[in-house]
Structure 1
Amino acid sequence: MKTPFKIEEEAALVYTRKSFIIFQEELFNSLRYQARRLSLTSEAKTYGVTVHGKETPLYHVILEGSGEHATCTCHMWEFMGILCRHILCVFGKKAKLNRLPEHYVLDRWTINAKSRPIPHIPCCDVQVSVEVDEPTMRRSKSMIQLYDIVELASQSVEKHNHFTLALEKVHKEMLAMDEHVECSRVVPVNDDQIVRSQVVSNFSQTVQDPPRVPTKGRPKSLRAKNPKETQITKKRRCSICKNEGHVKNNCPSASRMRKLKVLSQRGAAEEGIREV
């Protein structure tokens, strides 16, 4: 917890980890803001929320009714479904709310969002124009039934063990059915399939790739080159020995000349010492 507020502890028990991090960041930043009342009517109260020590930017928060319904000009709640720092600032300092209102907790951000049945999936008794034999429809119907069965199985150990044994038995029976169907399967070929295959083959023969369009611009092979591009670069030549392949910095003749110069200087120095 980053704040001592009770509302943060309630949000940690309700929201998922990612949603709670967003809410916690907004609640922590609400401490940086101050709220002052701008207008008061019989139906609503309007507050101006700004950062401490600053006058801009100014956000207007309107409390309606008993003070648990609020709207802000930043519209974070309308866009994300999580209360903004400006409303939380007014809730904590003006409305004195120590709990998170239930109507401000969306089910899709809670930890129990996946445990509930999905209402958008059609049930078995609903008339749907989609064919029943499609894999998606069969999967949806099975998932709706499994939600209720899993919920019952989680109530006790006996129910869970019974559900596990029954599930393993059904799994083995379905695998045996697949093996039996693959061995005895005979695929009939009707006239509709023959006509469909002929149409597909004719379509593939008539429809070809579109003609290739050359790219825009002058081709690189026809570009007139600058005379400097066609000139043959001269090889570097040593200024000491006049040979190619190296320069005077790494010339072997220069190194020998330096050694001879050092030896001659040593010999001259020794002769001078002897004369002395």
Structure 2
Amino acid sequence: MSASRQRTLSGGGQIVLDYLKRMQAENPSFYYAVQGDNDHSAGNIFWADATSRMNYNYFGDAVTFDTTCRTNRYRVPLTAFTGLNHHGQPVLFGCALLFNESESSFVWLFQSWLNAMSGRAPVSITTDPDRFIQVAVSQVLPETRHRFSKWGIFRETQEKLAHIYQSHPTFEPEFQKCINETETIDEFESCWESLLERYYLMDNEWLQSMYNARQQWVPVYMRDTFFGEMHANKGNEGMSSFFDGYVNAATTIQMLIKQYEKAVASWHEKELKADYDTSNTTPVLKTPSPMEKQAANLYTRKIFIKFQAELVETLANPATKIDDSGTVTTYRVSKFGDDHKAHSVRFNAFEMKASCSCQMFEFSGIICRHILAVFRAKNVLTLPSQYILKRWTRNAKSGAVLDEQASELPSNSRESLTVRYNSLRQEAIKYVEEGAKSIHVYNVAMDALQEAVRKVAAAKNKGPGAAQGGTLANGGNQEMCAREENRTAPYQSVVIDVRKNQFQNVLGSCWYKFRVGCKESKNYLGGGLGLMEGGKNGKFDVKEAYGLLTSHSTPLFPKKGIWVENVPSKLAFFAWEATWGRVLTMDRLQKRG
């Protein structure tokens, strides 16, 4: 795109702005910025909710800037910053509506996004090969490794070389094989030259320009940087899929907020399901290796499956020592009968460090079969800690966050906050596990918890250090539209929101577990038949479910959490009545005569 492209906000733009203002009023950690005229009649809009900002602290090492709506000329010019969570699922880091697409607009957008993320740049970012975006990344994220989307390159190549694609059907698979399956730089260079000669494309300007930019999109040049993908030569076939199925060519500005909230809720539900599956099911181990058992307990289910596949492949990829020079030993690892594709592994036994020529760990954060083969040969029984990337583990979202803003507080406050947070979280997890073992223990635990809540509220109102409110650069005027008033207060409000989100995640997980149990039960309201794990004989019955719902002075489950899919209407109606104390129990029937 060589010139800016202008769209108008129309009536729907004010709907979006009103929504953002309302969300920011409800939660000071909700961030938004507007670029444009003073009345915002034709301005670009960026926003990131508290969950997006919190998730960035856990998974913001590798980012994708998704411009699918812009590329496909959708009615809504939506763009999104996304990444992958610990289950390999799309996670949102912020959205924007770009009505005025120019170089300065993209620079403003990236600056707004970086400001919302506390100024912490990602390790890598993947975008479409757009000139305006390149300028914005180079100015705002100069230290971040910038990669062009292969999907974008392949799409543009098909457009530029349409006559070749039509007259030579074999060109496309050969072109993609040259990009995706070459394992060394020399192999790629040779394959590329051969491809151009075979189809007489040596003087093609488009392919020459892509070759000149090869270090920004060909996988073999990118393996030394973390992009969070499972395999260097796979993935990245398309851009982020966060809004797939929710925003399309027919979506209007008026419909956007509803579809946005649906996508956010859906992916949150999928994350809860993945959390539940990881915590409550046991993977099948394929080897007697203690390392496999260790990984099964550490990683999320999807990541463990990836690791397990690499571990199993060590049986067919023996390691052969080829050099032993002091503390570093070099091994040659290749699959049986495939010696021409051998990989070199350098292993330091003293430091328990290994590096492989395939660079899979550097690229994806998952250790490769070649290093695992060397570990097997050296009788290394468990994974060294430096090869366990926390972002792929079950505990990826544990611990304190917002280090950049926390660094502005005194060190003793920062450390005590972290210690208090981790200590309370660990104790809470143990409390939930013990408190759910039987209905009697559950009732005792709930009574104690309610009493603790009252004491904490009383201490918070009386004692020093009560949380202060604050706002985080939201609303406002042209340019950044940001108010940086009190830097300590925003930090406190975000940390409070983090705690709130952690607690909501626990409750959400419990409700998801409840729904799963309901779905699996053959008789949803059969007297004494199990509805979920945790009560007598490891299951709750209807009576216990009623006790769980009515033990609070305020409803445990919100409206939107009861009237949901997969829960039978009979059970949902019962839960709704119980929440409001309207179930016709024996005592209520006696009162009615």
- TM (norm. structure 2) is 0.24
Larger of the two Rg values belongs to structure: 1
- TM (norm. structure 1) is 0.49
